[in-house]
Amino acid sequence: MTRRAIRLWFLVHKWSSLVCTAFLLMLCATGLPLIFHDEIDLLTEDQPEFGMVGVGSSSNAQGLLPLDEMMRRALANRPGEVPVFMAFDNDQPSMTITTAPRPDSPGAEMTIQSLDRSTGKQIGMEAESDGGVMHFLLQLHTDMFLGLPGMLFLAVIGILFTAALISGVVLYAPFMRKLDFGTLRVSRSPRLKWLDYHNLLGIVAMAWMLVVGLTGVINALSTPIEDIWQANELADMTSEYAGREPLPPARYGSLDLAMAQARAVLPGNNPQFIAFPGGTFSSQHHYAVFFQGDTPLTERLLTPALIDAETGDFTDARPMPWYYQALSLSRPLHFGDYGGLPLKLLWAALTLFTIVVLGSGLYLWLVKGAASSRAHLRQIEQLAVPAE
């Protein structure tokens, strides 16, 4: 590698790290409790008692109230509103129904009702914007309360983080010729000690940081990805309805009929949620019944079946495109939601490693000054560029 290339990598590592460090520290601090959001919710929230235990929507069990009846009860609790989503729990007879003043209302105007499908009773209700501390942390972690601009900004931060990781590996490689892997010069100056900690923890957690950084970028682009799907695949699936007036909620047909039609088309899959006409995940005329697989991997991949909301006729069903599947797989991977508590503990430990890497990098930049920075660059050049 030439001296010019080394200097370029050094500048990339320095400035990409400096620009993103403060935001990455915030993302680590907010992401750490979010890893354990299920466990925290279990400890801090009252757990409902269901009329039937261990029976979810996937079982087709007798004793569950019809979807139409559940919707009637939910709308009776929110007069004047229209349905937006209906979501299912495939382990318990619980479900959520989201309503809003209009089909295209923003999230802040939506209300989520939790209901027991075995009894029809409401077991909870909250506004989309009311979620306590965990909702606050999730919003800060997702878009910093700035909506789409905040998400796009964090995508740029993720790209800079990736550049900092790659350039860091390039600059670390020459040191492997001089020091044994894992060497910590704790008896030397504090700067050298923290440089060794920075390099060691960075290289140990590098693969994980790349995974979390890249999945974070994909998650931050979720809104554009959903818009692309709606403008292309969803538009193609509903092309015969183009130009028709939107279907008013008063003409919505039977949800139970729509679900039966969708199950017939996609047998062996479990329904995850229904998107109603006029929202992001459906057309102006369809119930979009989204199904998930029954394995740890396929349950993350969705397949929508579109049912005419007025007539109950099947329109189309096809798997989500590759870019949406990448988004679906990135969401749980980003928070370690694939392997239960052991994987979450590993994710938490690696998050702490990342905090140390970020903090030590900031410390090294603050204490070494411009002269020391130039000396460090010359040292890398001497190690990386063969003597002529």
Residue 346 in domain: yes
Do 60 and 121 have their domain in common?
yes
Do 359 and 315 have their domain in common?
no
Identify the CA nearest to 317 among candidates 307, 326, 325: 307
Residue 81 in domain: yes
Do 249 and 298 have their domain in common?
yes
pLDDT band at 297 (very low <50, low <70, confident <90, very high): confident
Enumerate long-range contacts of 356-359, CB under 8 Å, 24 or more apart. 356/197, 356/198, 356/201, 357/198, 357/201, 357/202, 357/205, 357/209, 358/21, 358/24, 358/25, 358/28, 359/25
Answer whether residue 93 shows pLDDT above 80.
Answer: yes
Residue 138 in domain: no
* Dist CA 47 CA 41 (whole Å): 9
CA Rg value for the chain: 26
Using the 8-state DSSP alphabet, how is residue 161 labeled?
Answer: H
Residue 191 in domain: yes
pLDDT for the residue numbered 44: 78
Residue 324 in domain: no
Do 243 and 300 have their domain in common?
yes
Do 58 and 128 have their domain in common?
yes
Answer whether residue 88 shows pLDDT above 90.
Answer: yes
Sign of CA dihedral 226, 231, 232, 236: positive
What is the residue type of 324? Y
Residue 142 in domain: no
- What percent of the chain shows pLDDT beyond 90? 57
φ/ψ region of 369 (left if φ > 0, alpha if ψ in -120 to 50, else beta) reads left
DSSP 221-271: THHHHHHHHIIIIIHHHTGGGTTPPPPPGGG---HHHHHHHHHHHSTT-EE
The count of domains in the chain is 2
Instruction: For 237-250, write each residue's pLDDT tens digit.
Output: 999 999 999 999 99
- Residue showing tokens 């390099």: 199
Residue 47 in domain: no
pLDDT band at 186 (very low <50, low <70, confident <90, very high): low
Do 118 and 243 have their domain in common?
yes
Answer whether residue 187 shows pLDDT above 70.
Answer: no
pLDDT for the residue numbered 372: 53
Residue 16 in domain: yes
Using the 8-state DSSP alphabet, how is residue 42 labeled?
Answer: H
Range of the domain at 191: 3-38+148-220+339-384
